[in-house]
Amino acid sequence: MEEKELLEIPTEVGELSFEVDASLLFQLGEQLVTRRSVALAELIKNAYDADATRVTVYLENVRNPGGEIIVEDNGTGMIFEELQAYWMRIATNSKRSRTRSSKYCRTFTGAKGVGRFAARRLANKLTLLSVAERVDGAKEKLTVTFDWGLDFKDGQTLTQIPISYERTRARHEEPTGVTLYLQDVREAWDDDDVNALQRDLLSLANPFPAEENKAHSSRRLGKDKNCIIDPGFSLELEAPEFPEYEGELRDKFLTAAWGRLTGRVDENGIAHYSLEIRDPKQTTTFSPSDEDFSELGTARFKIYYYIYTSDQFEDFDFGVRDAQRMGREHGGVRIYLDGFRVFPYGDPGDDWLELDITRAGKIKLWTDFKDLSEKEIPRDRSYLRIPGNNQLFGAVDVSQAKMEITVSRERFADNEAFLKLRRFVQIGISWLTLENARVTYEDRQKRRRPQTVPQILEQTISKIASTEKIPNNIKPEIIQSLMYAKERAEEEQIDQITERSMLRVLSAAGATVLVTNHQFRSILLGVLSAHNELQEIRADVDAHALDRYDKILEQLLDWYNMSKEQLNQLAVLLGKSARERRKRLPVKKVVEQVAGTFSLYMRKYGISFENSIPVNLRTPPMFKAELGAVIQHVLANSMKAVNERNVRKIEARGGRVANGIFLMILDTGPGIPPERREVVFRPFETSSSPDPLLGVGTGLGLKVVHDILETYGGSARFVDPEGSPWKTQLELFIPHS
Q: Name the residues that contact other proteins, by CB under 8 A.
A: 517-522, 525-526, 528-530, 532-533, 536, 575-576, 583-586, 588-590, 615-616, 618, 624
Nearest approach, Cβ of residue 626 and other proteins (Å)? 14
**Cα angle at 386 between 383 and 392, to 5 degrees?**
135
Contact 389, 421 (CB under 8 A): no
Least Å from the CB of residue 525 to other proteins:
5
CB closer to other proteins out of 149 and 655: 655
Give the contacts of 130 (CB within 8 A, at least 6 positions apart).
77, 78, 79, 83, 141, 142, 177, 178, 179
Query: What does the DSSP assignment read for 346-370?
Result: TSTT--TT-HHHHHTTSS--GGGSH
Which lies closer to other proteins via its Cβ, residue 271 or residue 585?
Answer: 585
Q: At its nearest, how many Å lie between other proteins and the CB of residue 46?
A: 54
Between 530 and 647, whose beta carbon lies closer to other proteins? Answer: 530
Q: Which helix (H) or strand (E) holds 54?
A: strand 54-60
Q: By C-beta, is 411 or 583 nearer to other proteins?
A: 583
Smaller CB separation from other proteins, 115 or 628: 628
CA separation for the pair 262, 83 (Å, rounded): 41
Q: Could you tell me the smallest distance in angstroms from the CB atom of residue 514 to other proteins?
A: 8
Question: Closest CB to other proteins among 269 and 575?
Answer: 575
SS3 140: strand
At its nearest, how many Å lie between other proteins and the CB of residue 382? Answer: 29
Whether 275 and 227 have beta carbons less than 8 Å apart is answered as no
- Shortest CB 33 distance to other proteins, Å: 45
Minimum CB separation of residue 539 from other proteins in Å reads: 14
Least separation in angstroms between residue 304's CB and other proteins is: 41
Q: CA-to-CA distance for 685 and 672, rounded, in angstroms?
A: 12
Nearer residue to other proteins within complex by CB, 138 or 530: 530
Residues 261 and 284: beta-carbon distance below 8 Å: no
Q: Could you tell me the smallest distance in angstroms from the CB atom of residue 613 to other proteins? A: 10
Cβ proximity to other proteins, 289 vs 519, nearer residue: 519
Cα–Cα distance for residue pair 110/340, rounded to 1 Å: 10
**Is 480 or 516 the residue whose CB approaches other proteins more closely?**
516
Rounded CA separation 274/282 (Å)? 11
Least distance to other proteins, CB of residue 734, Å:
15
Q: Are 433 and 387 in contact (CB under 8 A)?
A: yes
Q: Which is nearer to other proteins, 64 or 568 (CB)?
A: 568
Within 10 A of 733 (CB to CB), how many other CB atoms are there?
A: 21
Of 452 and 529, nearer to other proteins (C-beta) is 529
Determine the residue type at 76.
Answer: T
Closest separation between CB of residue 209 and other proteins, Å? 50
Q: Report yes or no: 324 and 256 within 8 Å, Cβ to Cβ.
A: no
Decide whether 643 or 659 has the Cβ nearer to other proteins. 659
Sign of CA dihedral 168, 169, 174, 176: positive
| Residues belonging to the chain | 737
State the Cα angle at 675 between 672 and 681, rounded to 5°. Answer: 70
DSSP symbols for 402-446: T--B-TTSBSB---HHHHHHHHHHHHHHHHHHHHHHHHHHHHHHH
What CA–CA distance (Å, rounded) separates 342 from 205? 10
Closest separation in Å from C-beta 733 to other proteins: 19
Residue 21 pairs with which residues in a beta bridge?
A: 157
Q: Which is nearer to other proteins, 613 or 642 (CB)?
A: 613
Q: For other proteins, which is the closer residue by CB, 82 or 626?
A: 626
Please write down the long-range contacts of 712-721, taking CB distance under 8 Å and 24 or more positions apart: 712/620, 712/622, 712/737, 713/381, 713/384, 714/361, 714/660, 715/360, 715/361, 716/681, 717/360, 717/677, 717/678, 718/672, 718/677, 718/680, 719/677, 720/674, 721/666, 721/671
| Rounded Cα distance, 624 and 584, in Å | 9
Please say whether the beta carbons of 681 and 641 come within 8 A: no
Rounded Cα gap, residues 511 and 515, in angstroms: 6
Closer residue to other proteins, CB minimum distance, 467 or 568 = 568
Judged by beta carbon, residue 232 or residue 586, the one nearer other proteins is 586
Please, what is the minimum distance in Å from the beta carbon of residue 23 to other proteins?
A: 52
Give the residue with the Cβ less far from other proteins, 492 or 610.
Answer: 610
| Cα–Cα distance list, 633 to 97, 614, 679 (Å) | 69, 21, 16
Tell me the closest approach of the beta carbon of residue 347 to other proteins, in angstroms: 37
- Cβ-based nearer residue to other proteins, 90 or 574: 574
Contact 235, 202 (CB under 8 A): yes
**Nearest distance from C-beta of residue 627 to other proteins, angstroms:** 11
For residue 655, the minimal CB distance to other proteins (Å) is: 12
The minimum distance between CB 635 and other proteins, in angstroms, equals: 19
Tell me the closest approach of the beta carbon of residue 582 to other proteins, in angstroms. 11
Quick one: the chain helix, strand, coil %, rounded to 5? 45, 20, 35
State in Å, rounded, how far the first CA of the chain is from the last one.
80
The rounded distance, in Å, linking the Cα atoms of 553 and 74 is 100
| Nearest in space to 320 (alpha carbons), one of 258, 386, 247, 382 | 258
C-alpha 317/C-alpha 319 separation (Å) is 7
Q: Are 253 and 236 spatial neighbours (Cβ–Cβ below 8 Å)?
A: no
Helix axes 701-711, 624-642, angle to 10 degrees: 150
